[in-house]
Amino acid sequence: MSNAFQPVVAGSACATDAPAPATPRNVPLAGGDANPSAAALQRQFGDAVAGTSVVRGETNVVVANARLLDVVRWLHDDPSQRYEYLSDVTAVEFRDPEQPIEVVWHLRSLAYRQFLRLKVELPRGAELTVPSIWTVYASADWMERECYDMFGITFAGHPDLRRILMWEDYREGFPLRKDFPLRGRFSRSEQLRQALAANPEARYSMEELSVADAFADLPTEMRRRLRAGEKAGE
Amino acid sequence: MPTTKRTVEVDLSTSGLDAQGRPVRVPLVTDDRGNVVPMEAPDALEPDLAGEHMLINIGPQHPATHGVLRLVLELDGETVVRCVPHIGYLHCGFEKIGEYRTYNQIIPWTDREDYLNSPGNNVAFALGAERLFGIEITERCKVLRVIAMELSRVMSHLVWWGTTCIDIGAFTPFLWLFEERERIYELFDMWIGARLTTSLTRVGGMGADIPDGWMDKLTGFVRSFPKTIDEAERMLSKNAVWVGRTIGLGVMSADEALNYGLSGPMLRASGVAYDVRRDFPYLDYETYDFDVPVGTSGDVYDRYLVRVEELRQSVRILEQAIRRLPDGPVNVDDHRVVLPPKHKATSDMESMIHHFKQVMEGPRPPIGECYVAVESPKGEKGYYMVSDGTPKPVRWRIRPPSFVNLSAIPKMVEGHLLSDVIAINASIDIVMGEIDR
């Protein structure tokens, strides 16, 4: 059995002997101590950092789209930063149609107990493309897929950017965009009809079906449909 | 002519193994002299299956996938070569709906996302909304929320433990553990009137203070519960079947676990002592005395040990919280965010206006954003909220720990046997309600 197992430690992931953190109290709306990484980023990347701010105790850094991957890689690799944990990738679309869409990355440095929010602003009318950080964080895989699925933001360099929560041939658009109605684009009866007409067998991707000659074992009818390019529910 | 049934007598004492110790693959029959011999098989070559891969579909309607998870596995014999997970069967668009609801109206939705941890989600959401509003909650509320969070962790871990027992083939501990879980549900039933979908918190306080006699019941639970942990652990920790089916499966090294974004017991089993309660504390967790269990090998067995130890630590935190629960108000004294008492709303003009404004419009936070993470039983659960000054959030993002943990399943199952996929999947402790949202 696992003799080496040490079930209990009283420590934490922090590598330095910094004082124990405390629950934040009376966090101001703006201002306060900025994360030192923001200033370091400005020194390191100069113009690529479009602005920094502190909102509710959390440091926002707005980064130029073209340099994002460099910034993230530096934050991950540099021994003075060590942002080894990617908490979240998401996007924000504001109700004001003039405001740009923001893509947001939440990074954590466990070794230095820091939290940093990176943002890239995508102006309206421009192409919704940001670099994928999958090469730095494997966890970005599904989070970027979800962000693409919900907002239609393309993560350039992602190895397998396809829908994840909605089905692959969902064509109504991107549900979390503000121009998408809450109830969907079709009537309830039409949505029900589509769901009932869906053919769940056909929901293997062609890549999966090509595995291991499984394609040859499928029923003739299904093979014919898949050859004709049919996917689910049409 | 009556047909007579002919039976072949087989010596039951044969081991079924040949001289090399391999299982005999042909049926045994009795020959003329009464000896048990393998039946003579015709000379047919077995098909050469080496290199032939098979496609196996598990789920979405399969009890061992813990919900509507679908895994498409490419198998070489019984070994998994590739795993492609498909999710989204339970997608309800919680985040979209949240953009059309005021903050207090979102709280019932948080019940339904990670439905084994409803009180914990309620507390986490309320903490996020309070950060956004700039509210400091009362001391009594903090301690009550700690109690709710730890009870909720115990509840969720018990479901994980029980269902994993079933997956791996142990039935008895399942019943013992679910009995304890039932006692926690009764506690929440007494407190807030609901068992599963608690909606325990409000922005700025709680939905209700604890009723009379509740603390005694909780104390009784805290006293007797560790005995059940010991009993169930005694059934499993040194059980040959349990150990054989968990050790060395789905190993993630510390670096891999960090890079794949694992959190909670999954990450700690791999040796990274990251616990949000310890590293980014909330609700004064830094003042409680508890340990963060950490594994060494990052396999299914270590995840099990870490979760069991977390149950014990939760009991420790509960004991401390029971001792320190102060008297005083539960809700903040600000009727712009917390509803005034009903009798005042019907007798006092100002209270009535507050009541009306809150019910009809909802409280308005200032323009801003915040990301508040808590240590849910599954890992780092974060709520990212963006406000544009209206009563409804522009964006309410759930950072689902199970979603990120599950994204590592292809990495974990590849090279293992098909039957081990079930054990590895169970060790992730997924809740599809949270993954699909």
- Residue B153 included in any domain: yes
- Residue B186 included in any domain: yes
Q: Is the pLDDT of residue A10 over 60?
A: no
Q: What percent of chain B lies above the pLDDT cut of 70?
A: 90
CA distance A173 to chain B (A): 14
CB A203 within 8 A of CB A234: no
- Token output for B9: 């007598």
CA distance A6 to chain B (A): 6
Give the best residue of A3, A61, A95, A108 to mutate against chain B (max B CB count within 10 A): A108
Please indicate, yes or no, whether residues B335 and B288 belong to a single structural domain of this protein.
Answer: yes
Q: Which residues of A touch B77 (CB under 8 A)?
A: none
- Looking at residue B50, its pLDDT comes to 66
Q: Which residues of B touch A146 (CB under 8 A)?
A: 403
Residue B154 burial class via C-beta count within 10 angstroms: exposed 0-12, middle 13-18, buried 19 and up = buried
Q: DSSP label at A35? A: P
Q: Which residues of A touch B309 (CB under 8 A)?
A: 7-8
- Residue B2 included in any domain: no
pLDDT in tens, B286-344: 899 888 888 888 888 889 989 999 999 999 999 999 999 999 899 988 888 888 888 88
* Interfacial A residues in 123-162 facing B (CB < 8 Å): 137-143, 146, 150
Helix axis angle for B139-168 and B214-236, nearest 10°, is: 30
- Residue B49 included in any domain: no
Please indicate, yes or no, whether residues B248 and B361 belong to a single structural domain of this protein.
Answer: yes
- Looking at residue B12, its pLDDT comes to 43
The mean pLDDT value of chain B amounts to: 86
- Looking at residue A186, its pLDDT comes to 84
- Residue B47 included in any domain: no
Alpha-carbon B323 to chain mean position: 28
Number of domain units in chain B: 3
Q: What domain range includes position B78?
A: 54-85
DSSP labels, B36-90: EEEPPPP--PPP--TT--EEEEE-SSBGGGTBS-EEEEEEETTEEEEEEEE--TT
pTM attached to this predicted model: 0.85
The SS3 of residue A9 is strand
- Looking at residue B337, its pLDDT comes to 86
CA distance A39 to chain B (A): 21
- Residue B419 included in any domain: yes
Ranges in chain A annotated CATH 3.30.460.80: 36-166
Give the best residue of A62, A82, A84, A87 to mutate against chain B (max B CB count within 10 A): A87
Pick from B203, B429, B230: nearest CA to B337: B203
- Looking at residue B13, its pLDDT comes to 46
pLDDT in tens, B1-35: 455 554 444 444 455 566 666 666 666 777 778 77
pLDDT in tens, A94-107: 988 889 999 999 99
Architecture of domain A36-166: 2-Layer Sandwich (3.30)
pLDDT in tens, B384-412: 999 998 999 999 999 999 999 999 999 99
CB contact under 8 A, B274 and A85: yes
Please indicate, yes or no, whether residues B191 and B317 belong to a single structural domain of this protein.
Answer: yes
Q: Looking at this predicted complex, what is its ipTM?
A: 0.83
- Is-cis flag, bond preceding B60, omega within 30? yes
CB contact under 8 A, B291 and A204: no
Q: What percent of chain A lies above the pLDDT cut of 70?
A: 79
Please indicate, yes or no, whether residues B78 and B169 belong to a single structural domain of this protein.
Answer: no
Please indicate, yes or no, whether residues B277 and B346 belong to a single structural domain of this protein.
Answer: yes
Please indicate, yes or no, whether residues B63 and B137 belong to a single structural domain of this protein.
Answer: no
CB contact under 8 A, A14 and B95: no
Using left for φ > 0, alpha for ψ between -120 and 50, and beta otherwise, residue A157 falls in left
What mean pLDDT do residues B219-233 have? 91
CB A130 within 8 A of CB A119: no
Pick from B245, B101, B228, B90: nearest CA to B166: B245
Please indicate, yes or no, whether residues B308 and B420 belong to a single structural domain of this protein.
Answer: yes
A2 versus B341: the higher-pLDDT residue is B341
pLDDT in tens, B230-259: 888 888 888 788 888 888 888 888 899 999
Please indicate, yes or no, whether residues B244 and B196 belong to a single structural domain of this protein.
Answer: yes
Please indicate, yes or no, whether residues B18 and B121 belong to a single structural domain of this protein.
Answer: no
* Interfacial A residues in 4-43 facing B (CB < 8 Å): 4-14, 20-30
CA distance B265 to chain A (A): 12
- Residue B238 included in any domain: yes
Instruction: Using pLDDT thresholds of 50, 70 and 90, give the confidence band for residue B181.
Output: very high
- Looking at residue A201, its pLDDT comes to 55
Please indicate, yes or no, whether residues B136 and B16 belong to a single structural domain of this protein.
Answer: no
> From B240, which residue of chain A is nearest by alpha-carbon distance?
A1
A169 versus B169: the higher-pLDDT residue is B169
Pick from A131, A133, A165, A139: nearest CA to A150: A165
Return the CATH number at B286. Answer: 1.10.645.10
The SS3 of residue B415 is coil
pLDDT in tens, B339-368: 888 888 889 898 899 899 888 888 999 999
CB contact under 8 A, B95 and A5: no
* Contacts of residue B382, Cβ cutoff 8 Å, sequence gap at least 6: A87, A88, A106, B371, B372, B373, B374, B397, B398, B399
Question: Cβ–Cβ contacts within 10 Å for residue B386, how many?
Answer: 23
pLDDT in tens, B142-158: 999 999 999 999 999 99
CB contact under 8 A, B305 and A30: no
- Token output for B434: 């949270």
pLDDT in tens, A11-24: 666 766 677 788 88
CA–CA dist B149, B269 (Å, integer)? 21
- Looking at residue A202, its pLDDT comes to 55
Residues in chain A: 234
Listed ranges A208-222, B18-32, B103-117, B242-256; the one with the highest mean pLDDT: B103-117
What mean pLDDT do residues B198-207 have? 90
Rounded to a whole number, what is the distance in angstroms from the first to the last CA of chain B? 69
Where would I find the beta strands (DSSP E) of B160-280?
201-202, 205-206
Q: Which residues of B touch A13 (CB under 8 A)?
A: 272-275, 278-279
CA dihedral (A62, A64, A66, A72) positive or negative: negative
- Residue B195 included in any domain: yes
Please indicate, yes or no, whether residues B212 and B353 belong to a single structural domain of this protein.
Answer: yes
What are B54's strand-pairing partners?
B75
- Looking at residue A7, its pLDDT comes to 55
Please indicate, yes or no, whether residues B66 and B149 belong to a single structural domain of this protein.
Answer: no
CA–CA dist B111, B354 (Å, integer)? 27
